[in-house]
Each structure stands twice: as C-alpha cells, then as structure tokens.
Amino acid sequence: MVEIHAASVNPLDAKIRDGEFKLILPYRLPLILGNDVAGVVVRVGSSVRGFKPGDEVYARPAQDRIGTFAEFIAMNEADVAMKPKNLTMEEAASLPLVALTAWQVLVERANLKKGQKVLIHAGSGGVGAIAIQLAKHIGAYVATTTSTANIDLVKSLGADVAVDYKKDDFGNVLQGYDVVLNSLGKETLEKSLRVLKPGGKLFSISGPPDAAFARQNGSGWLFQQLMGLLSSGIRRKSKRHGVSYSFHFMTANGGQLGKITSLIEAGAIRAVVDRVFPFQSTNEALAYVETGRAKGKVVIAVK
C-alpha cells in the first residue's frame, strides 16, 4: 500500500476514459484512472520482502491495478521500484510508463546497439524525451521529429538530427535506419518504412495492434485474428520493404524500472516535466495533455 505523493497524466488515460482501448483493456466502471505513481510505502503484505513502510517508491501499476489519481494505491511488489534518490516525487512520477515503454522497445525488443541508427518520433513528448536519452546512452545515432519550438529541447536531450516536421518531410531527409519508434498516426507510420534499411524494425506504440500483442495479452484465437486483421495493411507494406512491424503495449515491470533508476541516479536520464497541476485540477491536467503540446510530462501533485 502506497500513499501517493504524485501521479502523472498520459495520453493513455484520456484514451481509456474515452473508451478507445475497451477492446484491449476491458475495465469495469466505475474506474479510477492513472498509470504512474510516486509515493511512500505505508503497509506491506506478509510475503513482501523488497520493501518496507517508509520506503520512497515509484511504479507503473499492472494494467489491471491502475488508479493513481487517488490518495492511496495497492500494488504488487513486482511492479514497484525504489524512487531515484536525485528526483523529487513529481519528477519520479513522470517516468515509469514512458521510461518502461522506451526500455522495452529499444532494449528488450529492438536490442539496440552502439552505432546503430534509430528514429524516435515526437521527441519532445513523454516517451520521446526519455527514448532519445536512453538511445544516446546506449551509443546509437539518434534522429527525431519535432516542431520548430522544440528543436533546442530535443538536441539538449541528445538527438543528433532533429527534423522540423513543419519545414521538412522526414521521409525525404532520413535513410538507412535500423529502428523506428512511432507514437504518431497512420501516415507517419507508413512513411517510416522508407527510412528503414532492409532488415530494419518498426515499432509502434500508437497502433495498430497485432496478433502477437493479443497472444501476449492472453486473448483468445478470435481476438488474435481480429488484431491480425487490424495490422494486416502495415505488415504487408513492411514485408514489401524488407522490414518488420510490431505493436508494443508496455507492461509493468519493477525489475526493469530498477535498472532505469540506476541510469537516472548516474545522470544518464533526466526527467522532463512540463507542468505540475494540483490534485483538484486533474481534469485540467488531462485536457492539457490532450492538446498534444506538452513538452515531456504533465504531473499531478497529490500530497
């Protein structure tokens, strides 16, 4: 049981609220939203060994245990990690979902290596800001897309190339990339195929979902077929380009978050927080995230 000091707002929260993910995440209502938390352990179950009351922790709760827009939350210890000592509660709350997304795509699935080239879309967004830093720490050559106003920010995070989408078409500027991390729409997804070299890997966290995701999610055969149908177009086009397409929906993982903590405490990754809203302004925080103009993350100060 954790007393919540801060939570962050993700586009996922708005999508769950609007019912966009009800096929994938069949939540029962009423539902408390919120997928990121930083706070203090107040009680532990009899089998818990890794944490004790008074520990400062942060987490992305498992998808069936969300609800961080609240004063307390109960979580499985496997999903929780010690809060980085050099971050405030608000900074720590901004990280779990986006940092785990970046880690799982770039490290676990893409197996990104030093010297490889990676394109990270929307570099000033929540996932992009962390993914750029992680890829740079690995030693990759990093390109990103962003608006004119955020060029300096993404360069400060480590981007080697920043393509201003208001002035240039990234599909005409970039080529020979090993990995693309997409968080934008269908047009960007399909255009990303052009920048990959043969054997390259295209990962999307904004869809469309695929059959592999449905299997990972424990879904039945019919749902797997449906997910395969949704992604059939992009998978066909990927095959024609000699590259692979995968959808990624991040999962809670305290062990991976602990590795991220080490990188944060070593100074390899820093939190990027745009605005902090008071708890009573949670709806306003959600509305601000929905504008798509946040630089990094939007956080709610609960305590």
Domains of the chain (ranges; CATH) run 2-95+271-301 (3.90.180.10), 97-247 (3.40.50.720)
pLDDT at 212 over 90: no
Q: Are 38 and 90 in contact (CB under 8 A)?
A: yes
Does pTM top 0.85 for this prediction? yes
- If one compares 130 and 25, the residue with the highest pLDDT of the two is 130
Burial letters 111-134, b for 16+ CB under 10 A, else e: ebeeebbbbbbbbbbbbbbbbbbb
DSSP-derived secondary structure letter, 149:
G
Tens digit of each residue's pLDDT (9 = 90 or more) over 50-67: 999 999 999 999 999 999
Cα(231)–Cα(210) distance, integer angstroms: 5
Q: What's the whole-number average pLDDT of the chain?
A: 95
Which one has a higher pLDDT value, 50 or 210? 50
Task: Say if residues 106 and 72 touch (Cβ distance below 8 Å).
Answer: no
Higher pLDDT residue, 217 or 66? Answer: 66
Burial of 241 (0-12, 13-18, 19+ CB in 10 A): middle
Enumerate the H helices of 20-174 as residue ranges.
Answer: 89-93, 96-103, 126-138, 151-157, 170-173
Mean pLDDT to the nearest integer, 228-239:
91
200 and 180 Cβ atoms separated by less than 8 Å: yes
| Interatomic CA distance for residues 140 and 244, integer angstroms | 20
pLDDT at 107 over 80: yes
SS3 of residue 78 by DSSP: helix
Residue 303 pLDDT exceeds 80: yes
Q: Residue 251: which pLDDT band, with cuts at 50, 70 and 90?
A: very high
